Structure 1
Amino acid sequence: TYFIDLLARRAAPAALPPAAPAPIARARHRALSSPGPDPRAAARLGEAAAAARDRGAPSVAAGLGLLAARHTPADAVPGADERRLQAAEDALTAGETDLARDIARQVLAQATAPVDRVRAWIVVIDAAGQAMAEIDAVFPHALADAGDDPGLLALVRYQLAWRALLMDGEMTKAREEAAAAAGLAARAGDRPTELLALGFQAQMETLMGHPDAPATIQRAMREPQDPRVACDHNGAGAARFRWLIMGDRLAEARTTITALLHEVQRRGMVESEVHFLRGLAETELRSGHCGRALDLARESLRLARDTGIGEAATAMFTSLAEAAGGDVDRALALAREAVDRAEEDGDLIYLSRALGALGHAQLVAGDAAAAVRSLRRVRELEGGLGVVDPARGRWHGDLAEALVRIGEPVEAQDVIDVTRQQALRLERESVLAVLDRAEALVRAARGEQGPAERQLTSAQDRLGKLGYGLEEARAAYALAGLRTLPHALGSARAGGTPMPGPASFDEAARLFRRCRALPWLRQVESASAGHQTSPPLASAALDTLAATERQVAALVMEGATNREIAARLFISVKTVEATLTRVYRKLGIRSRVDIVRLAAGRRTG
């Protein structure tokens, strides 16, 4: 038809690289010079498409496949629709979702064979990504076309597993659909679909803390493996990576995700590349390599923006990387973008992750009240979703810490107690150490100075041994601030204990510097400088200021000019001026002198 011919002409010339192998170039040239059906041209183009696919050029394969379909006679095997569907699947691999969707819709407009129609529906569903709400009406048609064929039903039930997770937020139902899909695929002898379904089932069981998770992962990793699925971002390799990183096996996780990333880059699998770049960035962040994590996260975000693949999830993780090693304001903006996109898509799974990133960024920015609001929503969402494993989002320690900061130690202790039970059952050692760090803050808020210090010291040591460099540094920072910044813990320190000097922050500064955790390092430097030369702002007023605002106010109290403040904080003079304007508004004051007066407890009207 004219529409398919147009797609073929649009895809193939742009996709063919200058250095294309001679057989591919010859096949395309002959096809373009041949008008109408030509079985020999179709066969040559089909072979050229397969060669391009094997060479990691799926975009080229899609264009060649469309040309092959145009030259395929009506009674040929494989038929024109089968070739078009293979081209659509190649387009998906290359990240060309609009092209894939257009091809599938055209096939659906004319195909009658159930196998072609179901494959086309699957392309439409895959092209929608996480925005499944937009194509929800597709599922009944796909089921009707599948009939009672186990192979076709397996394809649809696998997609229904994703629907149950992303749209309904029903993790148990998602696991059941995936298990059913795996069983149907095994009956039909469809090993690729069986492996994908087992990989998905394993991921659900991991998040649920289900005891069958290790056995399902072993089933998914069992031979024979299919090369098309082995490195898929929803396959068994990805499930094993998630299991490793949640189980604190960071070195093995890095080896696994690096191998997967190299393979998908070789094959030109753009969607999987976005996912695996993000996975490698997560591994580096957990290990305390914040600069490396930030570089990888930004690279993943650029690729996601270019292709339109996984933008919400990638923005969410890049927010975490920015909060650790980059710019806190950008972290906040990216997290809010991820929240908005997840809400628009009706994606409850990534909404909880995005809110977790937002809460973390708000905590790093010094807005504990906002962090509590965001992370309380995460707690409610994950409870409804059935997420049990606290290593999934690792937001629990942040929520407890933020609750302490706003004066809610009872609720903080409840978060710690409930999460600790789950972490103990699942043997999540790093989660337990972070919970101990948070519990030390609760104890300090109650005036239990000695036990708090001992618990923080133990938590720091354990996190260091496990390889969680950033969390280790945060424990050192909390330990340094235990006596020097009591207002940051939500209550005054019990009297009588000598106040240590700025040297107390040296260890935290060293660890943050090693991690290249710049936002945290600036906090340490500000806290140390503020303790050395100026009294703290009144606690109630300080709680209203973000981290940068607090740093600027502290330097004003030292008598620094705007230019000096800009140089100290590595920001522009205009940013200092705008920050001071916000400080004046939040504190209800008019000048720099009022900041000093407020700090001294002599606020004037």
Structure 2
Amino acid sequence: MLRGREHDQRAIEDLLDGARAGRSGAVVIWGDPGIGKTALLAHAVERAEGFRVLRSTGVETEAELPFAALHQLLRPELARVATLPEPQSDALKGALGLGGGAGQDRFLISLATLSLLAEAAEEGPVLCLVDDAHWLDQASADALLFAARRLDAEAIVLVFATREGFSAPGLPERRLDPLDAEAAAALLDDRDPGLADATRARVLGESRGNPLALIELPRTGDPLKPLPLPRRIQEAYEARIAALPPNARTMLLLAAVEGTGDLGVVLRAAERLGIGAEALGAAEGILSPDGGTVTFAHPLMRAAALHAAPFDQRLAVHRVLVDVLHDHEDRQAWHLAAAALGPDERAASALERTAARARERHGHAAAAAALERAAELTADREKLATRLTEAAVAAADAGRPERAQGLAERASRLVDDPRAMARLADLRARVAFERGSVHIAHDLLVSGAGRVAEFDPVAAGLMLVDAGRNAWQLSDPERLRDVAAGLRALRLRPEDGLETAVDAVAAAAESLNRGPTEGLPAMRPLVDDARRIDREGYQLRINGAFVAGLVGDFEAQREISSALVEECRTLGMTGWLPISYVTLASAELYLNRFRGALADATEGLRIASDVGQPHRAGYLTGILAWLAAVQGDDARCAELAASCADHFSITGIANGTAWGEWALALLDLSRGRHTRALDRLEGAMAGPVRHQIQAVHFAADQVEAAVRAGEPERAKKPMARFEEWAAAARLDWSDAVLHRCLALLESREEHYLAALRSHARPFERARTELLYGEWLRRERRKREARTYLRAATETFHRLGARPWGDRASAELRAAGEAVVASADADKQADLSPQELQIVRLAATGLTNREIGARLFISAKTVSYHLYRVFPKLGVSSRVELARLELGAS
């Protein structure tokens, strides 16, 4: 029985009951040392009858060994690795040092972790317990958190117990507070019923409701003096250790310094020191041998064993462990470093090799730590600069920008070589970009390119292309013009492979500085190049997809982007997925495939958050805000648009806020708040949004808002802006929108008819039909009006554009026709974005496992959602799914 923890126990039991019913769940338990986290995990085990229980404990000395904790957790299930899809199996084997493919994408490893746990759950529910999560190595933490956030229908419970220092965004949390006075007194009476009243009162006062303190403080004979917890508890442990025989104390020190719990290593080291296995018996109660492992009863006992030993003894133990760990090079390297008293090239080189192995397994955080420690042991200036630079790169790859920035700055003070200086500038720019300092990132890239332009123009060109991208996102014409001029001055050769990228930057500069007439024609060849490349060339293809959106070729943008998403999913190239989803969701939005855009933007946002790409997340948030506006979800639209504005205030990147402002204006327009919509769009045009492509597209909304607000003179500027762009674009859809704008301004029927002849995008066509129907009704041609209003109503309802559908329905009733909702027009509206993603892939014939691999969820979750989706869509098989137009609206 756990005193005072009834609500926490019930929460754990609810998770277990959910798993028995086929539902998964996760929770993070926070609390100070000794507060009862481990005891709550033990309670979970007691209540987990029929569960497969997997355990892992973070170990401070293993925090720099990639996937150490994951290996510990999954060890009982490793025989199942062979049953996973081959890419996942190879990735997990490589990560855990079992063979397979090294250097796999870290999210493929994370997906393999989820799949392996789901496989284990096929035989019954699974309980995964992770204690001392604050000491997990970063690679293990990433994989387990990835799995925890995607648990759904696998019958898995994942519980993390941790102090401060562990970040688990998106997971439910429970914080354990100190016991109240009644529970603390009851616990003390349970453990030490015979305490004298004075001692009892002192223990209750000193413990401050900490359960471990209540148990341990009475065991020491020292006077109870006021000391902060957990130091007071550690002192009690030190007193117990001091009473042990010398060999037992050394055995404790060996186990504490070794850190991983490898009993064989501890005993071999003890033998070298002349200590027999009987010393383990003398340390019983503090050390607990179990099979091939040995653990401390509590982490603070390990801390006490380390603290109680003199420095020279700890040093000697590290040296003995170096000798016995000859088959474990990574662990040996860290003990070598711990035994070093000054610069030590042997230890530094060993850590450098450890870092290389860690990076092959995507253990970038571990590589950064090893290289940073290697640098501390390095006397040679050139080697020191190199190791600091590599540590900074690894830290950036690990998603630790602050650490990377500090390491890069230290390295920059040591290097003189222009190439090394340029590389550091590139790295610092990358870090600055991810931290939201886009202006600084741009300036660092331009400066770094200038250092190497003379003798490495290709490297300089790549840096300037990145600088150009930043200038575009900042809506900074002057910076973009300067970058374009710098690229031209490099005199790159065709064989350098940068010609299309240079042209794209130059064309973007023309678009920002002189308008679209000059820029659009020069951009189109890049789109054609991107469509011709089947594999590789990811940067060119992404640029091509982005530029396709700028020139209004949304079919090409969708074609390129969907191929990239498919390829990245298949190959596990997660880092490329967010930007691929940005361009894919944009294309589907502009093509009015709103449900597909919603599914793709939602999935892209989830992955962007996972991989730490906030700028992609900001853009995708803007797309979701626009879609919420079309759906008439006022609260969600406002929330997402506010998030875009916050992101812009931090980063200065205008893409997301352009979407957000347009979304709010579109919502106002659909609700009949015409002046408000017009004011908002004019306000947006007064800032950096005027340089973004969204300003071209919402020009038509400005025109409509101005006309319907009775202020047609305010339509002149947006009309001229769109007319200029349409003349340069020469596209059917832009001609259709242009005719609709002219129809509104001139009230001439031929423009409505011309627009309808050119329209291909359903939402835009329905908006034209609505406006034309309204015009016909005002002209007292109600019978003709009903034809167009009926078509508009049906399209809006099919697309889920509720406020527009309501407006069209009202007009249709005013034209004399009752509105009857279609019985099956909106079946797909009931699907969540994830359900739509699943059925779209299922319709192509992929298996549940293949779908799970593409969407980074388990096959069991896929099966669960398909079971729920079939009745919603009125189908009973995958064959019938293939006949539906999934995501086409």
Task: Give the TM interval when normalised to the shorter protein.
Answer: 0.5 to 0.7
Q: Do the aligned residues in 2 keep the contact of 1:199 with 1:220 (CA within 8 Å)? A: no
Find the partner of 1:209 among 516, 535, 558.
Answer: 516
What is the match of residue 594 of structure 1?
A: none
Say yes or no: does 1:314 pair with 2:314. Answer: no
Return the alpha-carbon distance in structure 1 between the equivalents of residues 69 and 495 of structure 2. 32
Shift of residue 86, structure 1, vs aligned partner = 4.6
Matched with 2:728 is 425
What percentage of aligned pairs have identical amino acids?
19
Q: Is residue 463 of structure 2 the alignment partner of residue 463 of structure 1? A: no
Question: Shift in Å at residue 516 of structure 1?
Answer: 3.8
- How many aligned positions are there? 496
Shift of 1:424: 1.2
1:472 and 2:472 matched: no
Which amino acid in 2 is paired with 1:120? L
Aligned to 2:718: 415
Aligned residue number for residue 331 of structure 1: 637
- Is the CA contact 2:422–2:451 (under 8 Å) kept in the aligned structure 1? no
Query: Residue 407 of structure 1: SS of its match in structure 2?
Result: coil
**Contact kept? 2:503, 2:522, Cα under 8 Å:** no
Matched, 1:293 2:602: no
Contact 1:400–1:416 (Cα < 8 Å) also in 2: yes
Tell me by how many angstroms 1:305 deviates.
Answer: 4.3
Give the distance between the partners of 1:247 and 1:83, measured in 2 at CA. 45
When residues 15 and 413 of structure 1 are mapped into structure 2, their CA distance, relative to the original with a 3 A threshold, is farther
Letter in 1 for 2:741: A
Superposed CA deviations along residues 203-253 of structure 1, whole A, max 9, x for unmatched, are 445664364666577589989x9999932xxx3222211333344433332
Whole-angstrom distance in 2 between the partners of 1:511 and 1:121: 52
Give the secondary structure class of the aligned counterpart of 1:366.
coil
Deviation per CA, 1:548-588: give whole Å up to 9, x if none.
Answer: xxxxxxxxxxxxxxxxxxxxxx9xxxxxxxxxxxxxxxxxx
| Structure 1 SS opposite 2:672 | coil
Instruction: List per-residue Cα deviations over 1:356-409 (Å, max 9, x = no partner).
Output: 333223323432212111211344446974x7xx67741111110111111012
Instruction: Tell me, yes or no, if structure 1 residue 48 matches structure 2 residue 351.
Output: no
Separation of aligned partners in 2, 1:322 and 1:431: 24
CA deviations over 1:147-182 (Å, ceiling 9, x no partner): 465347656655654565455x43254144145247
TM-score normalised to structure 2 length: 0.47
CA offsets 1:514-571 (integer angstroms, 9 cap, x no match): 434344334434544576699xxxxxxxxxxxxxxxxxxxxxxxxxxxxxxxxxxx9x
Q: 1:275 aligns with which of 551, 554, 579?
A: 579
In structure 2, stretches of 5+ residues that fail to align are 1-59, 72-91, 104-327, 338-343, 819-829, 831-889
8 Å Cα contact 1:195/1:220 also seen in 2: no
CA contact (8 A) 1:164 1:171 kept: yes
Deviations 1:316-357 (A, max 9, x none): 222112223462431233223323432443445655454333
- Taking a change above 3 Å as real, the CA distance of residues 9 and 275 of structure 1, as seen in their structure-2 partners, is farther
* Corresponding position: 1:435 with 2:738: yes
> How many angstroms does 1:50 deviate by?
5.7
Decide whether the 8 Å contact of 1:313 with 1:350 is kept in 2. yes
Report if aligned partners of 1:343, 1:351 keep a CA contact under 8 Å in 2: no
Structure 1 distance, partners of 2:472, 2:488, is 17
Structure 1 residue 89 displacement after superposition: 4.2
Superposed counterparts of 1:365-376, under 5 Å? 365-376=671-682
8 Å contact kept, 1:284–1:290: yes
> TM-score scaled by structure 1?
0.66
Do residues 512 (structure 1) and 812 (structure 2) align? no
- The answer for the alignment partner of 1:556 in structure 2 is none
The residue number in structure 2 matching 1:4 is none
Residue in 1 aligned with 2:224? Answer: none
1:404 to 707, 712, 724: 707
Distance 1:435 1:294 in 2: 27
Q: Is the 8 A contact 1:196 1:229 kept in 2?
A: no
1:282 Cα shift? 1.2
CA shift in 2, pair 1:91/1:476, >3 Å: farther
**C-alpha displacement of 1:313:** 2.3
Give me the whole-angstrom Cα distance separating, in 2, the residues matched to 1:265 and 1:11.
29
Contact 1:413 1:442 in 2 (8 A): no
* Partner residue in 2 for 1:240: 544
**Contact 1:217/1:236 (<8 A) preserved:** no
Letter in structure 1 aligned against 2:712: P
- Residue type matched to 1:401 in 2? E
Q: Counterpart amino acid of 2:746?
A: R
User: 1:179 and 1:260 mapped to 2: Cα distance?
Assistant: 31
| Structure 1: gaps of 5 or more residues | 1-6, 445-450, 485-492, 535-569, 571-605
Distance in 1, matches of 2:392 and 2:499, equals 21
> Structure 1's 198 and 81: CA in aligned 2 closer, same or farther, altered over 3 A?
farther
**Larger-gyration structure (1/2):** 2
| 2:305 alignment partner in structure 1 | none
Query: 1:148 and 1:230, CA in 2 relative to 1: closer, same or farther beyond 3 A?
Result: closer
The Cα shift of 1:506 comes to 2.1
Structure with the higher fraction of residues in helix conformation: 1
Q: 2:561 & 2:595 partners in 1: Cα distance?
A: 18
CA distance in 1, matches of 2:560, 2:793: 32
Is the Cα–Cα contact under 8 Å of residues 62 and 88 in structure 1 kept in the other structure? no
Shift of 1:471: 1.3
AA partner of residue 773 (structure 2) = A
Q: Structure 1 residues 106 and 261, CA, compared in 2 at 3 Å: closer, same or farther?
A: farther
In structure 2, give the amino acid aligned to 1:469: P
| SS of aligned partner of 1:129 | helix
Distance 1:16 1:61 in 2: 15
- Would the aligned equivalents of 2:432 and 2:441 in 1 still touch at CA under 8 Å? no
Distance apart, 1:15 and its partner CA: 9.3
Between stretches 354-363 and 14-23, larger displacement belongs to: 14-23
